[in-house]
Copies of this chain bind each other. A is one copy, B any other.
Amino acid sequence: MQRSDASSATDVPSGITVPGTPMMDSTAEKSQSESPQKDAPTTKSKSSDYTYDGVTGWRRFRVLRPCRGMYYDIRRRLPYYLSDITDAFTYRTFASTVRMYFVNLLPALAYTLDMQRRTDGFYSVNESLFASALAAMVFSTVSAQPLTIVGITGLISLFNYTIYDIIKIYDVTLYARFMAWTAIWAAIWHWLVAVWNLCDYMRYVTDFSSETFGMYVGIIYMIKGVEELVSLFDSFGSVDGYLSCVIAILYFGTVYALEKIGSGVLAKPWARGLLADYAYPIATIFWVGFAHIPGTIKRANISTLPISRAFYPTQPRSWLIDFWTLDVKWVFVAMPFGFLVMLLFYYDHNVSSLTAQAKQYPLKKPGGFHWDFFLLGCTTFVSGIIGIPLPNGLVPQAPVHTDSLTVFETDLQIISTEEGEGNEIRRPIVRATGVVEQRVSHFLMGLGIIGTMTGPLLIVLHTMPRAIFCGVFFVVGWGSIESNGITKKLLFLMSERRFVQQAEPLLQVRRRKIWLYLMCQIVGVILPVAISQTIAAIGFPVLVCVLIPFRWKTMPRWFTVKELEIMDDLTANNEVVLASFGGAPKLPGSSTADEYGLERRFSERKTGVPRQRAGSHGR
């Protein structure tokens, strides 16, 4: 019953025979039988207690019933804690650990390069590793949603150096203490949001805003990649610059090609699976090696990741920031900045949890957004007072973790045709048969990062050309742009009409309306991108958050419910996830959550579930 809507989404139309593993559901149930299915029914009836729908009187106000969300989050999730460890003994946990180590670490170091350059070295490699390790330890052990990988994002890097630019106008020595107070305020705001159960509103997040946000992030990353390359010309000269361009482009091409092959139908499923799982490690090891080939390339002496003494802050200071010495005036100036950080994390962290538990994954274990947001407040506080970048949920990488833990089966779909081509057409259909839901891969990845903080491994990091990180920006950024719903709708509008399948749901919406919908999204992308190059960049969380009420208040006036049902979709509609928000959102018109996502269901029927940065694990 938990899987009711998932199974309707992958409904096999009659007339299409699916050989291979027709026992999909029973397989999934079998693996589930090892988890505490016995607890589930009781937990479930309890978890549905957390709701405000249909409640009257003072009880309907969330702020008047503090900590209720967190209480239910813990109560709902705690019974699964043991299985979070026992479920982990599969190969997928290992593959996931390796993949996430690279997918988490490489972008974090990429943003660090950017941050380091723009904060005159206040935040550097040691700080970023520390922040990633701290977050991984906390969230892998005590969070309610261990699938959500928490770490350094490009947006916090943007935030940090924008504040640096602002503080520099007054007195640059204030920066460390000011950032500490920003974090302290942000932590307080986090705790308030968690206590007042305000994460509930995240259930209204639809693809409209998460696609817009994803596109914004993708574009920012592409820009960062180029900026970083340009800065190499300025700092290290033309030879370094051009060689770095070559490596960055080819690194991007390598990861992209490996992931494409991994998601194709070439070779055996296990071989494809290896390529998809280890695309990052393979490409990274190859291109780091390339940069050290003796001769012309070695002589170019390409610039590498700068490191400093292990376990010590990069700048000559103690880990604890003396935040108590800051002027009271500045303490209060930090308050709105803290609010903006909270707003960014409110959207960014919760959306990454949502996408890590998105509809295409057959998840069984419940979510817990309030509790995790409270925890995020704690890590924010600690990170602030020791002067490391504030970690939060990684939007583009979050679903990669779940993806790497998902057991995909590539089934064969045979479509009988009336005549021609041997009376059939064969097509691969990807099916997610189950997710290895556990917290061990997250924990091991954290241990890996702690290991990386030690001297010997720091020296290994030091051999990595900066160019690799520019390539990482391109891979992550382009991945976010290419798979984005905005891109897909644009391609639909540009396609020649006669080649579009008639069953395509978008054909039911007038082109004018699709354009209008897209223009709303594109404006939502352009505005934050435009200000990201200025000091106003710290305001971008407001722009991002405004999209949610805009979607529910303004857009229904311009579109019919039917049109929105086709073009938009809830970002999470898994019942076990929605439980943490107090149930499915109340939608306008007569529509229910199940009526959304026509477009997705159409595409899933054709090619199966979409995969994150490709990865046909085959088994």
Contact = CB atoms under 8 A, between A and B. Distances in A.
Contacts of A496: 265-269
Nearest to A13: B420
Contacts of A169: none
B421 A498 contact: no
Contact of A415 (B14, B425, B426, B605): B425
A296 B233 contact: yes
B495 A605 contact: no
A500 B424 CA distance: 11
- Of A246, A250, A427, A606, most B-chain CB atoms within 10 Å: A246
A69 interface: no
B15 A501 contact: no
B242 A246 contact: yes
A245 B266 CA distance: 30
Interface in A362-383: none
A555 interface: no
A294 interface: no
B499 A427 contact: yes
B426 A495 contact: no
Contacts of A266: 491, 494-496
A16 B420 contact: yes
B242 A419 contact: no
Contacts of A242: 238-239, 241-243, 245-246, 300
Contacts of A424: 501-502
A416 B421 CA distance: 12
A427 B417 CA distance: 13
Contacts of A428: 499
A593 interface: no
Interface string A217-246: 000000000000000010000110111011
Contacts of A499: 265, 412, 426-428
A308 B241 CA distance: 33
Interface string A244-273: 011001100000000000000111110000
A22 B561 CA distance: 41
A15 B417 contact: yes
7 contacts: A16-B420, A245-B246, A249-B249, A267-B494, A415-B417, A415-B425, A421-B605
Interface of A: 13-16, 20, 233, 238-239, 241-243, 245-246, 249-250, 265-269, 296, 299-300, 412, 415-422, 424-428, 491, 494-496, 498-503, 605-606
Given A415-B421, A427-B499, 7 more contacts: A14-B420, A16-B420, A238-B299, A242-B245, A266-B494, A415-B420, A420-B605
